[in-house]
Amino acid sequence: MAEMTYLEAISDGLRTEMRRDESVFCLGEDIGAFGGAFKVTDGFAEEFGAERVLDTPLAENAIVGAATGAAIEGMRPVCEMQFADFIACGFDQLVNVAAKLHYRQGQSVPLVVRLPSGGGFSGGPFHSQNPEAWFLQAPGLKVVAPATAADAKGLLASAIRDPNPVCFLEHKGLYRHVRGEVPDGEYTVPIGEARVAREGGELTVIAYGSSVPLALAAAEALGEDIEVLDLRTLCPLDTEAILASARKTGKVLIAHEATRACGVGAEVAALIAAEAFEDLDAPIRRLTAPDVPIPFSPPLEAAVLPQLDDMKEACHELLAC
């Protein structure tokens, strides 16, 4: 075990997998000599060579397309989107080619797309988005969104070893603000399993990514008997864990930084309403960004992204029901 940041854990997971399996390679913009916009691949080119830490032209479809072809041919490519927002420029290759190949012709496409996502630092409308719901409407993609350093390492390793295309959402706000104990060496966390981050009996906050530490902080600040369920994987959803926690507490708040309409919260709420309605003591609530682009100026951005006070208030209101 070693304590490290969320960002260091991603690097550690990637480096460990590249040492373990020489078919694993990275491709993306400015990831080689420069080490990546956020330095996730800092020092990788020296260790693994420029070919396995491939600097590409500024062309996201070329990146995802090359990864798709290389994956079909037996490599394990890990694409870095410099910002998650830029997957919009590579969306066609991801959702039309990679996602559907197994369904259409039985062709496994084992690739990972790393997606530095999320706001909170005045990145503005094109460097702050949380695009996870886009992928959930494209059957064939798995989607993971770790909230802790250990999960960041373990889920990245699982994503690399998975025979399907996996979207790996790494929240930029967690990069250097979240630290934790991370197992040394090879370490995997299974895709599709949620985690009870805090046990409680009165209310469940279902969260992922940046909303997990927010929910934990709110629970501590309120001193209430709140359970926090960290989804960790958004596709496939851990429906058992969701329903078990909802049935246990009878009150559910679903929290995410992504915008509201047709988001993960809507899907989880529909699941609970359909399967655990009679166990509920209050309406299911959601705490999300409103359906607006992420604005640039700090007071505007703070008005859009869920804050600690918003989380406390949402928990408090639901507990009072």
Per-residue x/- track, 286-305, other proteins (CB under 8 A): --------------------
Sheet holding 166-171, edge to edge: 53-55, 24-28, 76-80, 112-117, 166-171, 142-144, 233-235
Report yes or no: 126 and 117 within 8 Å, Cβ to Cβ.
Answer: no
- Judged by CB under 8 A, how many residues of this single chain contact other proteins? 41
d(CA 99, CA 226) in angstroms, rounded, equals 37
Q: How far is the CB of 296 from other proteins (least distance, A)?
A: 27
d(CA 213, CA 26) in angstroms, rounded, equals 29
Q: Is 47 in the site for other proteins (CB under 8 A)?
A: no
Count Cα atoms within 13 angstroms, Cβ side, for 156. Answer: 34
Report yes or no: 16 and 157 within 8 Å, Cβ to Cβ.
Answer: yes
d(CA 184, CA 13) in angstroms, rounded, equals 9
Within residues 71-110, the interface with other proteins by CB under 8 A covers: 71-75, 77, 92-93, 96-97, 100-110
Q: How far is the CB of 241 from other proteins (least distance, A)?
A: 20
**In terms of CB distance, is 25 or 187 closer to other proteins?**
25
Q: Is 25 in the site for other proteins (CB under 8 A)?
A: yes
Choices 29-37, 55-63, 170-178, 258-266; region in contact with other proteins by CB under 8 A: 55-63
Q: Which of 68, 130, 245, 249 contacts other proteins by CB under 8 A? A: 68
Within residues 159-218, the interface with other proteins by CB under 8 A covers: 163-164
Q: Is 243 in the site for other proteins (CB under 8 A)?
A: no
**In terms of CB distance, is 87 or 218 closer to other proteins?**
87
- The full DSSP string for 152-179 is HHHHHHHHHHSSS-EEEEEETTTTTT-E
Q: Which of 21, 46, 47, 51 contacts other proteins by CB under 8 A? A: 51
The total number of residues shown for the chain amounts to 321
Within residues 125-144, the interface with other proteins by CB under 8 A covers: 139-140, 142
> Which pair of structure tokens corresponds to residue 138?
């494209």
Beta strands in 164-232 (DSSP E): 166-171, 179-182, 195-198, 203-207, 226-230
Active site residue 177: no
Choices 65-73, 151-159, 181-189, 193-201; region in contact with other proteins by CB under 8 A: 65-73
Residues labelled catalytic: 127
User: Which residues sit at the interface with other proteins, rule CB under 8 A?
Assistant: 25, 51-52, 56-57, 59, 61-62, 64-75, 77, 92-93, 96-97, 100-110, 139-140, 142, 163-164
